[in-house]
């Protein structure tokens, strides 16, 4: 079949594939074999599991389907590296991934090399119609796991009593206090949300559809650690009037008194420190607060007398703003001091008050790949904007991240909204 009758070339796509695969290995490089095997809680996956799972994705959804005569690297990997695809058979329990001592990181490296070679051969020639879109999905899927890798290893290292660094030299404050939050006013009315354009988007960003908004205002920067300290000092974690019932139950059961990774200085109980990917640091009051749950974000908003934005409000404002610049780079990801730039992107994912549910007219793709997003559209809340651990170019105004309301290990923060 000629290129004009259904085949496409893969040169830019092959470059994108090479870049994402190289980035994953760069992120894993500072970690020892022991670091890469630990699972510190059920929601965390070992680093080597992430490296293998994204490789399994390309092997299962692309090579096994589109490369004639393809032989899997190891047939047993389908059981231990499948994440949640029920249509593809039984899986090793998620909470027991840390028990997989073998294959080790060197075997995982050989697995990645094998699949990369096969993918390079596949992309050296023209690709069938629809295959570039599937490879692109795999690239974006691996970018998601790059952020998960960093979230997870931060939790793993925080559990080590030595609190080791992942990488040194996280950014520090420039000493300039952030200005008082200003507000972006919106008159309300009919707006449209959902992806529009020719580039990639996940299925949960479709279809684009109209929404009606009442007049509202959105803060032009995220909530800072200093503002969160004021909430704590006013008894925020001990006053049930601010909390949803489920959230208060979690606060009591898990004895939350501060954001995840915060702890009192051993020699000065009034001073707060937190664990970062560059080790222990004093809490900088000018940085956006990070690693807070939906429950905490909602309680803080109630304490201020304001609220969290809906995802439609957030997207409507974000669609008209420029991208931020604090995304995943070469150093350890960490939020930078908050400034009034009116950018809604980067630094911290921002909780919205919107439950994660399908847009009107949403239909999951047929087959196992349709399990990617749609099956999780219950009991979760939407976050927007990307974080300091999100790969550059991965997010956009219509991007819908989602987590359960009690989750705190994501790079998640808060931006307030208010009514007139």
**pLDDT tens across 366-389, in order?**
877 776 777 888 999 999 999 999
Residue 113 confidence (pLDDT): 98
Indicate whether 121 and 220 sit together in one domain. no
> Does residue 178 belong to any structural domain of this protein?
no
pLDDT of residue 169: 77
**What pLDDT sits at residue 4?**
41
Residues 190 and 154 in one domain: no
Residue 49's domain comprises 3-158
pLDDT, average across residues 250-274: 93
Res. 16: pLDDT tops 80: yes
Cis before residue 91, ω within 30 degrees of 0?
no
Do 259 and 363 belong together in one domain? yes
pLDDT of residue 338: 76
Whether 376 maps to a domain, the answer reads yes
How many residues are listed for the chain in this entry?
420
What DSSP element (H or E) covers 155?
helix 131-158
Clarify whether residues 409 and 299 are in a common domain.
Answer: yes
Domain count, the chain: 2
Query: Residue 340: which pLDDT band, with cuts at 50, 70 and 90?
Result: low
In this structure, are 215 and 341 located in the same domain?
Answer: yes
Domain assignment present for residue 170? The answer is: no
Q: Which two tokens stand for residue 364?
A: 């999951």
Burial of 117 from C-beta contacts in 10 A (0-12 / 13-18 / 19+):
exposed
Whether residue 169 lies inside any domain: the answer is no
pLDDT bracket for residue 279 (50, 70, 90): very high
Average pLDDT over residues 347-353: 97
DSSP code per residue over 75-136: TTHHHHS--S-GGG-----GGGGGG---S-HHHHHHHHHHHHHHHHHHHTS-EETTHHHHHH
Co-location of 252 and 358 in the same domain = yes
Least confident of 84-88, 134-138, 159-163: 84-88
135 vs 352: CA distance, rounded Å: 31
Residue 168, domain member (yes or no): no
- Helix, coil or strand: residue 361: coil
Is 318 inside any structural domain?
Answer: yes
Verify that 363 and 398 share a domain, yes or no: yes
Shared domain check, 283 and 199: yes
353: domain CATH number is 3.90.1580.10
């Amino acid at each position: 079949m000629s290129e004009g009758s259904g085949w496409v070339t893969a040169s830019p796509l092959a470059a994108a594939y090479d870049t994402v695969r190289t980035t994953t290995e760069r992120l894993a490089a500072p970690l020892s074999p022991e670091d890469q095997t630990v699972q510190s809680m059920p929601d965390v996956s070992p680093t080597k599991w992430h490296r293998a799972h994204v490789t399994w994705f390309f092997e299962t959804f692309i090579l096994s389907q589109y490369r004639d005569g393809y032989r899997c690297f190891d047939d047993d990997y389908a059981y231990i590296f499948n994440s949640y695809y029920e249509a593809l058979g039984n899986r090793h329990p998620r909470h027991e991934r840390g028990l997989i001592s073998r294959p080790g990181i060197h075997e995982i490296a050989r697995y990645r090399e094998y699949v990369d070679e096969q993918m390079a051969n596949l992309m050296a020639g023209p690709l069938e119609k629809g295959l570039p879109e599937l490879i692109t999905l795999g690239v974006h899927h691996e970018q998601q796991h790059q952020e998960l890798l960093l979230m997870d290893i931060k939790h793993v290292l925080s559990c080590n009593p030595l609190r080791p660094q992942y990488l040194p030299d996280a950014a520090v404050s420039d000493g300039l206090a952030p200005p008082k939050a200003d507000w972006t006013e919106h008159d309300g009315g009919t707006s449209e949300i959902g992806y529009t354009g020719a580039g990639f988007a996940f299925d949960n960003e479709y279809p684009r559809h109209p929404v009606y908004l009442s007049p509202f205002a959105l803060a032009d920067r995220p909530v800072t650690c200093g503002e969160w300290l004021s909430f704590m000092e006013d008894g925020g974690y001990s006053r049930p009037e601010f909390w949803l019932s489920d959230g208060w139950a979690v606060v009591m059961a898990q004895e939350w008194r501060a954001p995840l990774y915060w702890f009192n200085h051993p020699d000065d109980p009034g001073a707060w420190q937190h664990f970062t990917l560059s080790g222990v640091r004093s809490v900088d009051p000018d940085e956006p607060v990070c690693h807070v749950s939906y429950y905490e974000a909602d309680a803080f908003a109630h304490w201020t007398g304001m609220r969290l934005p809906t995802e439609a409000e957030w997207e409507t404002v974000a669609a008209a703003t420029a991208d931020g610049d604090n995304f995943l780079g070469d150093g350890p990801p960490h939020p930078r001091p908050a400034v009034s730039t009116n950018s809604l992107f980067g630094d911290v994912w921002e909780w919205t008050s919107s439950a994660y549910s399908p847009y009107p007219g949403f239909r999951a793709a047929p087959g196992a790949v349709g399990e990617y997003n749609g099956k999780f559209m219950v009991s979760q809340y939407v976050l927007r904007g990307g974080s300091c651990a999100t790969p550059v170019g991965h997010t956009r105004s219509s991007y819908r991240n989602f987590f359960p309301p009690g989750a705190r290990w994501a790079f998640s923060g808060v931006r307030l909204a208010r009514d007139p």
